[in-house]
Structure 1
């Protein structure tokens, strides 16, 4: 299989780079993808960059050039739920844009881009296999909605506004829905994991740098172990 692993920042890619030998490097979009092998799978590791445009551009550039069979997206998120805590792992069921407000432009709901689904649901046989792996190995994780926007959420007031529109949201971040939209258009399965680095509140800026590397390594280790064991 050809598998893409994409993370927003270099600190979140360190685990892969330290544990797997890169055969070659190729430029797609504005980012360099390192190409290596895990358990006879061709793996392309790249940085999405931060924000929706960077994420969409770099993933679309890769998918246009390479026939990718499955995408793993990892990274960090801020918690949007009182029962979701720092270092918790969210296996994303669906993404939506928290900064898309088009209800007055037609028959659209909050978070929906015209012409696109209201929410991007991540359903595939590949994802089901990964869920089976998590369950068989007694790995703790949460499942649910994660919302995406182009701003780092670091105030309780903003968090409450988002939560009012998406009361079922577990996390908030800056790339996921853009990834999901591109994967949907290219019809490529997407498996997305976000590990909580902060509470998306007034203290987020102070704790993000402390936790982002730690949670990035946690998510990377899970995916790497899975790829090493998959048939």
Structure 2
């Protein structure tokens, strides 16, 4: 299998670089991907950059050049629910754009871009296999909708506005829906595992980098353990 692992920030990629040893580097578009072999699988690890355009551009560049079988997206997210806490793992079942407001342009719902699905569902056999792995390992995680926008959410006011339109969303981040949209058009399975780094409120920027590194490694460790078993 050819497997892509995409993370937005360098601090979220550190664990992978420590885990995988000796690999080559290749450029796809404007992004450098590290290329490893694990159990006969080819692994491509790259930084997407932050935000929707960077995410879509860099994943599309890879998929246009390499016939990837499975995409893993990891990194961090802010919580949108009182039941989702710092350090928790969220396995996205779907993504939507919280900053797409096109209801006045036609028969669209909040979060929908004209011509695109209202929500990008991630259901796939590959994702179900990963869920089985998490359950076998007795990993604690929550599963549900995650929403995406181009702004760092760092206030209760921002958080409350998002929840008015997406009351059930578990988390908020800046790349996931763009990844999901690209994966949808390339017909590639996407598994998105986010670790909660903050509560998406007025305290969201406190020690973000340090905590993001810690929880990012938590998600990365699980994915690496899974890849050790995939043949």
TM-score normalised to the size of structure 2? 0.99
Q: For the residues of structure 2 that align with 1:38 and 1:160, how far apart are their CA atoms?
A: 43
| Aligned-residue RMSD, C-alpha | 0.7
What's 2:223 paired with?
Answer: 223
**Equivalent residues in 2 for 1:67-216, closer than 5 Å:** 67-216=67-216
Distance 1:160 1:55 in 2: 25
Which residue matches 1:50? 50
The alpha-carbon deviation at position 39 of structure 1 amounts to: 1.5
Cα deviation for residue 209 of structure 1 reads 1.8
Q: Is the 8 A contact 1:198 1:208 kept in 2?
A: yes
Give the TM-score normalised by structure 1. 0.99
Classify the secondary structure of the residue corresponding to 1:193.
strand
- In the TM superposition, what is the alpha-carbon distance from 1:38 to its structure 2 partner? 1.5
User: Offset at 1:217?
Assistant: 0.4
Counterpart of 2:93 in 1: which secondary structure? strand
CA distance in 1 between counterparts of 2:71 and 2:138 reads 23
Tell whether the 8 Å contact from 1:22 to 1:34 is kept in structure 2 after alignment: no
Distance in 1 between residues matched to 2:21 and 2:67, nearest whole Å: 22
Distance, in Å, in 1 between the alignment partners of 2:112 and 2:212 is 29
Cα deviation 1:45-92 (Å, max 9, x = unaligned): 000100000000000000000000000000000000000000100000
Q: Per-residue CA shift, 1:120-142, capped at 9, x if unaligned? A: 00011100000000001100000
Encode CA deviations 1:205-227: one digit per residue, 9 max, x unaligned: 11322310001100000000001
Query: Structure 2: any 5+ residue segments left out of the alignment?
Result: none
Structure 1 gap ranges (5+) = none
Tell me how far apart the structure 1 counterparts of residues 64 and 21 of structure 2 sit (CA, whole Å): 25
Q: Distance in 1 between matches of 2:162 and 2:7?
A: 24
| Counterpart residue number, 2:12 | 12
**Deviation of the 1:178 alpha carbon:** 0.2
SS of equivalent residue, structure 2 residue 77: strand
Matched, 1:38 2:38: yes
* Separation of aligned partners in 1, 2:7 and 2:209: 16
